Amino acid sequence: MSEIRSLERADIPAIAGMFQRVFRNDQSTPPPALADYMQQLYLDAPGCDPQIRPLVHVNDKGVISGFVGVNVLPMVLNGRRLRAAICGSLMVEDRESDPLAGARILKAFLAGPQDLSFSETASDVSMQM
């Protein structure tokens, strides 16, 4: 059965490969700098929150087939501290075998512990979801 879980350090090469194939439309091996950047952005950046994490979709075969990048932005509103989560880089491979994977990732993101949810980039499909 497929699952949605938090991104782990060991997932970075798979996520970089998926990014290369989905967003760059390139089947070649991603450059090492892409994996390094994703690790820095999603796991090692100042302000990363252990409770608000990027998410991966793992298909029935145990393969990562989806991802949503999440970054945390601390905010203050009327003196109250808030945690905002910025959603970006929503991607899914092999949508034919699991057409709801993207929707489940997005639902899991929105159900997180953050006070506010934003998107830095969103397609028309993502906005409708």
Residues 64-85 pLDDT 10s: 999 999 999 999 999 999 999 9
Q: Residue 52, Cα to own-chain centre: how many angstroms?
A: 11
pTM above 0.75, yes or no: yes
- Tens of pLDDT, residue by residue over 15-28, are 999 999 998 888 88
CATH number of residue 103's parent domain: 3.40.630.30
Range of the domain at 93: 3-128
CA neighbor of 50 nearest in space, from 40, 59, 42: 42
**How many domains does one find in the chain?**
1
